[in-house]
Every structure is written in C-alpha cells, then in structure tokens.
Structure 1
C-alpha cells in the first residue's frame, strides 16, 4: 500500500545512523520505569472479553451478561442495524428518517460495530465519513456554531421533495518521505471540495472537519473509566518534560447544565454514549430525540422544515435507551499471537519508541450503578482519553469546545488487528487518509513527532515487529 523505492546502500546507512543517533536519548527516556507486561495482556476488555476473530468480532455481547441482559442486547442490536424509514409509515416506531441525512442506520456508518472509511471511488457519496462545519466564533457554552446555510453537518442525501445539500469531491495530494534506512514512502493528503450546493454558498469563514465513524465496541468500558484516572494522566504544561502534554476536553452537557469531561468523538466533544448517539441521530440520520428535540433544518432549507415528522421525538425514549445499552454491552475481542517472539519484541519497541506515552495500555473501570458487567474491570484500550496536538499535517482548523484545530483524542487501539477482517479495509485516522498502520504513524506530528521519528528510524525488521505487535491488539 506504500510505494517503495530504495536509496543507494551507503546513503541509506548514513541517513539511518544520523537519525537514529538523534532519537537514542528519547528512546531511553520513554522506556524508563515502564515494562511490557501490561502491553501483552490477552483480555483487553477484562471480563467483557470474547474469544472471537471472525467478521463479527466487534459485535458480540459481553460474556458476563445475564440471560435477561443478553435479551436487552439483542433488542438494541436490532435497532442499531435496521434502517429507518421516511415518515409517515406503517412501522411507526421506525419512521422519521431525514429530511436530510448521511445514513439510514447506525450500522451503515459503524458497519459490524467497527470503523468507517472515506469514499474510495470517484463520485461516491460519503456515508461513513461526515463533514462537520463550524464558524470561528464559538457559542455561549464554547460549542461550535453551525454554518448559516448548511448547519453542523454536510448531508449528501434527502428524502423525496427535499434537495440533498450537494456533492463532495475528494482529491489527494501525494506527500513523499523516507525511512531512516533510505526506503521511500508516499502518503496521501486529502483535499475536499463541494459541488452542486443546493442552498447557497458556505459562509466564507466556515471551517470543515472530515471525520470517519469510529468503532463502537468497548464504548461502555471507556465510559466507565473514573474521571480521576483520566485527569491523573493529563499534563497540559508538560511538567515532566517528555514532550507529551495531553489534556482533557470539557464540553457542555445541556441536561446537566454544566461543562463535563468529554469522552467520545474525534475531539472528545461528547460526554457519554447517550449524547454521542443523540448527536449522530440528529445530524447524520436526521431524527430527533429527547436529548436533541429540534430538527436540523436551516432557514434556507424550507422544504426540509415543511417535511412530515415521525413524532416528537422521532425516536422514542425506550428505543433510544435500548440502543445506548446495546453499545454499553458490546464486548472486546481477545488478543492473538502473544507468545510470538516477534510480537514480544514489538511490544518492547512500542514502549521504547514512545507510543505508550499516549496510547496508554491500562485503566480500571469504576463501580457503575445498574451496569455490573462494566464494573471493576481491568482493561487495556491503549488510549489515555486525552487530547494531543498532532501538528499541522493533521490539523483541520476547526475548534471543538476546548480542543484546538490541531488537537485530537488518542484513538483506542484495541481490536485494530481485526479491522480488515471485520470492516474489509485498513483505513485509519480521523479522516481515513491513512491506508494502514504504517501510514497512520507516519502522519503523526506535534506531540507525536518524536515517536513517529523513532518508528521511522527503526530497521525494517524492527518496524515489522512493532507492526506485528499492533496487529495482535
């Protein structure tokens, strides 16, 4: 997937030695006081781990559910996977789609509860990639403000009688680079353009952020991590001088009437699974809920505003709760190949290269009321649940509450080695630009620059060992 060319051997050796020498002090510092033991634990989800490596590996119920809870799981699963329909319909519990939307079901974006990807064919509309909008000036609670004509989300589909918002065209610019051993690589930087806009022009100062649908398995465990554990890992001023200054995002919770810790979304802009689900229903499926009772139609979208409703709210509280609990019950697949010497060597290199400084291996969940399957679990998600400045190469320029345009959450890595089996692709990062794990690492900048450089300057054999470790997750 990366185009390979070789430098002359003597040049490659000199380049590699010089770069490796500069990274040596960093490697030693990052490995100090850490061990690989927690990086090689088989049960990433604690008691919620399942022995599964098929295309359904992300869609299994946790093994520690009761019979009654498993029944709840499968009710939620049915609603998560089934398409919504246009109102009015005889299936009143399932109508209310649109009037403007990106997808007809949750599964259409989070296929098999896994990761989405950008369109791969010229002219293909985005489904599991959404474009979020915002004006530069935030609202009263520091939340992003919508584009005056297109709202918070670009919707490429509309129901009958309602014009879709337009078409998205994605082009790619090649970015060339070289590993320390002289091997060349090429990355793809996406560039976005809108065509056939139906409701006028975007505001001149509107910022856009492309974001692919993240995996949802294990979400309940991430939600159950005590806030104190997350805050303990925050170091906004880089007090320990390791070059890593992760910090939390605090976001407005309209139900609580105050700012709370953000846990979900590419910029940690949602406080919990319920808010994340309600936001997706509102801006991507076009359906109202008790969390978000208002339609998304903007003033210029008169046909949208006049379209029939599927009720108030369009998704009932009962169905909504089933879908939230379903996500909380999704298991995490067990690790694989942990006895391989190459995987063990890769774990050491993951630690020494500084990857674990952000992709922290271990948390312990708290005691969750009425959800005992989530409680008191030692888990290994490989995230710190914090924001990090990833440099200008990945910046979208769109602030999101406290998150700047160049800050992103640390993506959990659990299940990464099964993504191709489950979702049929290996696209990574917030916009899916990376075609595999190697490219995702090479896009790291900012706080991730030194870890990227350590990886870039490994020998071919060591790079492969580190990738085999990640594949074991």
Structure 2
C-alpha cells in the first residue's frame, strides 16, 4: 500500500506510471464500467427518465424564474445567510438523528493536529511535512481559499508537482482501461522522486519544510466594448527555498487554491450516465465544446471510476478525496492511504522514520474508518444556500445573456440526482449546480501544463457555480479560478479560452449593460 501511496495526490496520472497487473485493453473494457454505481440506489423507470428529461431541459422563458429555481439543492437547500456561516449549514432535509454525526464530523474537520509524540494521542500524527494543521485552515468557513498576499505564507493554496513518467514503466490496470477508451496521447506522469505529489511549505520541529511558494504577476489590459477596460493579472509560480535539493528534471508545478465545500454530496449523487452522456470529445455536434470524462483509479473501490472531485476531477468520491487531503495536506493516515508519514518519499528518510501518530499504540492509522466516515458525512452534507433575487429583472436578463452566449454548454444548469436508499439528503433532488463535471480545454492562458489522468495540461473540470455570489460574504475576498488569479467574476470570464474562447469574446463585445446584467446573474447564484 505504501508503495502506491505517492500516486494519490496526482490522481490517476501518477497511477499510470507505477505499473501493476498488465491486462489487455479488451479485458479491461469488459471488467470495468464507469456507470457502475458507487452509491446504493434504485434504477430509474422509463417514465421517470422522461419526466427528468423534461424538467432538466434548458429553459427558453426568461420573463420569470423557473419553478424551484431558488432552491438550488432541492430539499437540501438552506436559508441564505448574510454572514460568514453561509456555507457551514447542514442540509435542510437532514434527519434529526444524523445531526450529531454532522457536528462530530465538523469537529474533526476543524481539529488542529499536533506532531508526534504527544500526550494528546487522538490528535497527534501531524506531518512531518504539511500544508495545514486542519481541514478548516484551507477551507476556512467551508469556503474558497486564496493566494498569499504580500509576505503572507500560503495557507490555503499549494503547488502540485509531477515529472514525466519513465518510458519503460509497466502498463497498469488503469493504463489498459484508458487505452480501451482510446486514450493514448495524454503524457504519463509520476510523483517527483524527492518531493512526492505536492509541495509542503510547513514541517514539524526538526525537519525542514519543502519550499516557499513564489508568485509574480504581470498585468494585461483588456479592452471591452462600450469604452470599458479590465486588467488581468497573469501569475508565474516558483518553488523557492527548496529544503531537499533541486526538483527533478522536467518537474511540472500546478497551483491549487482550496475550493468551496458546499453541495459535494449532491454532485456525487448525479448519475454517472448523465455526466457521460454530455461528453463530446470529438465535438460531434460542432459547437466547439468537446468535454471529456475524467477517469481515475479508486484506491477505495480498487477499480477505475469516473472522476468528480478536485480541480481536474482527480478523485472519484468524497471519501477518497477527504482521505487524500488528510494524507497530502496534513500528513494524517487513513484506511485508504495508510502511510503515516504522509507525502514524504523514500528520499526523505528522516521524514519517513520520524515518530508518527500510531507509534506505540495499537492503532493502524492516525484517523480510523469511523473518523473518516464522519468527515465524509460532514463534507457530503454542507448545504447550498438558496438563490437570491431570482425574479429581479436584471438577474433574469443576465440569465438570458448567460444562456444565449452559450455558457450552459459547459455549465449545465440542472440535474436530478439518483434515488439513494441510505442518503435521503441527496436522494432524487432537482439541483442547479451549473457544471457538466467534465474536462475542458481552457486554452494556454489558464494552462498549468501538467497532465493528470485523462486531463492534459490545458484541461480543467468545469467548476460548479452555485454559491459563487456569496464568496465575499464567506471568504472575505473575490478571488476565483483554480489559482485565485481572477479578482472578480468578470476577470474569471475574461480568462476563459480554448473551448470557451467564443463565449469569452462575446462577453468582451457585448453592450456594457448586458455584461453588467450577466455579472449580476452570476452574483445571484
């Protein structure tokens, strides 16, 4: 298990490089089905499928809000608050009997871990290398992280790292499965042999941190129709003050800001078939949009699965994403990723040999299955606030601009979730997340030039838009995109390229009032 641990932070991209059982593409195609359910649910009837298709079809009437549009998470929608707790409310339809589980999960999410050895045995095991001491440190108030400002240390942002995989690496099971899907052009990658899958900027006493993040910005003026202008800030990232020697040749760095946490359980409950049905890798419909489904290796289920979570959809489930964050961000082992030294590599022998949270105890991991499940339940049930101003004429006009400009080609407005036997909060809800959950080429401007699984260096998963208008209320800033480079929603739109170039150019060319109404609509989400 520990030999495979280094792959988790790179999604399936690193798994491609580590080898495994060599199976034929035909065998893999027969053995794995991305539609295979990972949640316990019930199949839809034909009548239900027809009703769902009608309900989720894009509207053509922009004179009034659609039925139930204000309740973006269905019955799980929570009342919108005008303070920093807006993203920290449990699903409104959560049974009373589960509220204690939610609160205990919240406590574990906020827990400050300490280094080993410690008298607080239930809280030790931090690091030895880490980016944060708790989940809440990155996802402050369950909201969006931000890049460091001035001399501030990065506290909710880090750099992923990978290197080109050896050309003689054995074909893994995931390799063969991707080959069966026709994927043979995305370069394979591996963790850095010294620094692992991500760079940690903190370390426990007696160990050097791996680096300090360096960022420089260059301004770029954009002329907008109507005499308006906007300024984009293009970042350049460096790994400074390296604590363990130089990076490996060809090292690729990818900046990542912690995303907001709301609505994750509902995204997990979208039927895989509904996501896969939107994929159009060859742009067969000619609309310029060619979304692709991410495919990752699930270390929990031991099979390829549809990627859903993370900025490149590198994790298949909330539970696995949570376990990966515990390991990579905090250095806490779980039943899924059980290396007690977190992301430390064999080249960092002192780090691997340091005391950890299971030293001298009978515990197998620093957080057990029950604790991981409670954190997963908490993350699954953070409620989505209700929409504001859905009937405002300017919001309705902005909605029409959003639809007419073609933004819904990637930001799919509506879904109906699976019928789930043991998750009433997510079961059979009409939701409005505004994402297709697919990978899209966003052009060279947003490229990190670091492949991850099926995603090449210019592809990112379409982020959900629900709650985006409350970012300042919750997080105290308006920094957007994968690295927080956009300082406003308009700047975020103007950074779009690649498959979204036509939409970006339409926003640049549109009348100032239409542009303002579009932003007002986004702020209502």
Whether the 8 Å contact between 2:158 and 2:213 is mirrored in structure 1 is no
Unaligned 5+ residue runs, structure 2? 1-56, 176-187, 359-363
Alignment of 1:355-394 (within 5 A): 355-394=407-446
2:153 is aligned to 125
Deviation per residue, 1:190-242 (Å, 9 max, x gap):
11122221111001211110010111111000001110111111111111111
Alignment of 1:54-453 (within 5 A): 54-122=83-151, 124-137=152-165, 140=172, 141=174, 144-294=189-339, 295=341, 296-311=343-358, 312-453=364-505
Quote the offset at 1:169 in angstroms. 1.1
Deviation per residue, 1:373-413 (Å, 9 max, x gap):
11000000010111110000111111101011100010100
Secondary structure of 1:278 counterpart: helix
Deviation per residue, 1:157-203 (Å, 9 max, x gap):
00011110121211001122211233222101111122221111001
Instruction: Indicate the larger mover: 426-435 or 366-375.
Output: 366-375
Secondary structure of 2:286 counterpart: coil
Quote the offset at 1:420 in angstroms. 0.2
d(CA) in 1 for partners of 2:237 and 2:384?
A: 34
- Are 1:45 and 2:73 an aligned pair? yes
Quote the offset at 1:361 in angstroms. 0.5
Whether the 8 Å contact between 1:175 and 1:188 is mirrored in structure 2 is yes
2:30 is aligned to none
Aligned pair in 2 of structure 1 residues 39, 89: CA closer, same or farther (>3 Å)?
farther
TM-score normalised to the size of structure 1? 0.90
d(CA) in 1 for partners of 2:229 and 2:479?
A: 20
Whether the 8 Å contact between 2:156 and 2:258 is mirrored in structure 1 is yes
Runs of 4+ in 1 over 3 A off after TM superposition: 31-40, 138-144
TM-score normalised to the size of structure 2? 0.82
Whether the 8 Å contact between 1:39 and 1:361 is mirrored in structure 2 is no
Quote the offset at 1:316 in angstroms. 1.3
Aligned pair in 2 of structure 1 residues 38, 135: CA closer, same or farther (>3 Å)?
farther
Secondary structure of 1:374 counterpart: coil
Aligned pair in 2 of structure 1 residues 107, 144: CA closer, same or farther (>3 Å)?
farther
Instruction: Indicate the larger mover: 260-269 or 124-133.
Output: 124-133
d(CA) in 2 for partners of 1:168 and 1:266?
A: 19
Whether the 8 Å contact between 2:469 and 2:523 is mirrored in structure 1 is yes
Whether the 8 Å contact between 2:58 and 2:413 is mirrored in structure 1 is no
Unaligned 5+ residue runs, structure 1? 1-30
Quote the offset at 1:80 in angstroms. 0.6
Whether the 8 Å contact between 1:269 and 1:401 is mirrored in structure 2 is yes
Aligned pair in 2 of structure 1 residues 39, 85: CA closer, same or farther (>3 Å)?
farther
d(CA) in 2 for partners of 1:431 and 1:369?
A: 38
Instruction: Indicate the larger mover: 347-356 or 135-144.
Output: 135-144
Quote the offset at 1:445 in angstroms. 0.2
C-alpha RMSD of matched pairs (Å): 1.7
2:510 is aligned to 458
Secondary structure of 1:162 counterpart: coil
Whether the 8 Å contact between 1:38 and 1:362 is mirrored in structure 2 is no
Whether the 8 Å contact between 2:219 and 2:232 is mirrored in structure 1 is yes
Secondary structure of 1:135 counterpart: strand
Aligned pair in 2 of structure 1 residues 78, 144: CA closer, same or farther (>3 Å)?
farther
